[in-house]
A = this chain, B = another copy of it.
Amino acid sequence: MSHNTFGHLFRVTTWGESHGPALGAVVDGCPPGIRFTQDDLQIFLDKRKPGQSRFVTQRREDDIVRVLSGVMPQEDGSMITTGTPVSLMIENTDQRSKDYGEIARRYRPGHADYTYDVKYGIRDYRGGGRSSARETAARVAAGALARQVIPGVTIRGALVQIGKHKINRANWDWAQVNENPFFAPDPEIVPVWEAYLDEIRKAGSSVGAVVEVIAEGVPAGIGAPVYGKLDQDIASNLMSINAVKGVEIGNGFGAAEITGEENADEMRIGPDGKPLFLSNHAGGILGGISTGEPIIARFAIKPTSSILTERRSIDADGHEVEVRTKGRHDPCVGIRAVPVGEAMLACTIVDHYLRDRGQTGRLK
């Protein structure tokens, strides 16, 4: 079934296809009284925008976001949310639908082409239609709004692995992330990835990646113990990003390998008289509820299935065919998934913050 909404109190509904006139998001339940500018949103869309380096798709889209509702325009050009739905729209400008004629009836292996046709009996093959990573522009717009809601929360992301090449975590430096085309926090990995991706790109191939997103400043106590878990909704929302095949929190799959002693995050009273965690194996979440420590999540992105190499497949008429995808594609979609992951984490945290305020009245 189609269900293009996520969130319970801060609810985001996205719509739109790769090659339709526009795409967008409706953010319902945003608290009133939040002042922001067009630039506060645009800055994140620009981060996700295609065509910014040779390592991402060469499609050219300005990705200008328009705010169509839910705000009172102010004299200084800023806007204040009124508590009603905020409609955000991004027009599609650079569509080369003719690139896709060949795959109108052919199924790209590893792509949603086949499953769409089975399910819906119809498919917007132009640019992948709804399954295009272009849909994530709407998420980034919604996430940019979410970032305005809770003061003191910082949400950042970085690429930590491309193919088998992982960063050296000892080199982690947030200041580096925007200094290279990969959102890499480790400057030493940059030349390695450059060389590797050039090779991939020239081969018309693609490769997978791992993204890490971190939220700092999240108050302790948001989430819930069993269902409605904060980590559950983070997993759900990250997994909803195109091409994601795995999600982990804190130690993640590494937690399977260690003992209770190793995994326990011990506590002391800090110099400020407040509870202090001595480690953060839990990734900031215990029993589905935030601990006050940084919330840490990672997600794995498969290589895009749009490759130039011929692969065996079938077509909608039941014939065996060979398929290769022309058009402009990301050799590593994981790169542009960094701002998307940040956006999803931001929306999830705001939603849980508002939920908690509703149920317990504890937060302001």
Contact present for B302 and A255 (CB under 8 Å): yes
A176 within 8 A of B: no
Contact present for B312 and A15 (CB under 8 Å): no
A246 within 8 A of B: yes
Set B15, B209, B354: member contacting A26, Cβ < 8 A? B15
Contact present for A259 and B200 (CB under 8 Å): yes
Interface 1/0 per residue, A245-287 and B, CB below 8 Å: 1111111111111111111111111000101001001110111
A236 within 8 A of B: yes
Contact present for B21 and A80 (CB under 8 Å): no
Instruction: Give CA–CA (A289, B118) in the complex, Å.
Output: 9
How many of these chains are in the complex?
Answer: 4
Q: How far is the CB of A266 from chain B (nearest CB, A)?
A: 4
A222 within 8 A of B: yes
Count of chain A residues with a beta carbon within 8 Å of a chain B beta carbon? 158
Instruction: Give CA–CA (A118, B286) in the complex, Å.
Output: 12
> Which residues of A1-41 are within 8 A (CB) of B?
1-6, 8-9, 11, 13-17, 20-24, 26, 28-33
- Stretch binding the partner chain, chosen from A49-57, A140-148, A178-186, A223-231: A223-231
Contact present for A355 and B263 (CB under 8 Å): no
A187 within 8 A of B: no
Given A85-B4, A252-B246, A253-B300, check contact A115 B287 (CB 8 Å): yes
Contact present for B120 and A1 (CB under 8 Å): no
> Which residues of A35-77 are within 8 A (CB) of B?
66, 68-70, 72
Instruction: Give CA–CA (A259, B251) in the complex, Å.
Output: 26
Given A2-B83, A239-B229, check contact A246 B255 (CB 8 Å): yes
Contact present for A5 and B8 (CB under 8 Å): no
Contact present for B358 and A355 (CB under 8 Å): yes
Instruction: Give CA–CA (A131, B226) in the complex, Å.
Output: 6
Using CB atoms, name the residue of chain B closest to A266.
Answer: B312
A–B complex contacts, Cβ < 8 Å, 16 sampled = A9-B9, A82-B120, A110-B264, A115-B285, A119-B223, A130-B226, A162-B256, A164-B257, A207-B260, A208-B256, A227-B240, A235-B247, A245-B252, A246-B249, A266-B311, A268-B314
Interface 1/0 per residue, A67-97 and B, CB below 8 Å: 0111010000000111111110100000000
Instruction: Give CA–CA (A311, B86) in the complex, Å.
Output: 33
Interface 1/0 per residue, A121-133 and B, CB below 8 Å: 1111000011100
Given A68-B15, A256-B163, A302-B263, check contact A240 B246 (CB 8 Å): no
Q: Which residues of B contact A28 (CB under 8 A)?
A: 2-5, 13, 15
Q: Which residues of B contact A87 (CB under 8 A)?
A: 15-16, 22, 24
Q: Which residues of B contact A83 (CB under 8 A)?
A: 2, 119-120, 122, 359-360
Given A83-B122, A263-B302, check contact A235 B239 (CB 8 Å): yes
Q: How far is the CB of A90 from chain B (nearest CB, A)?
A: 11
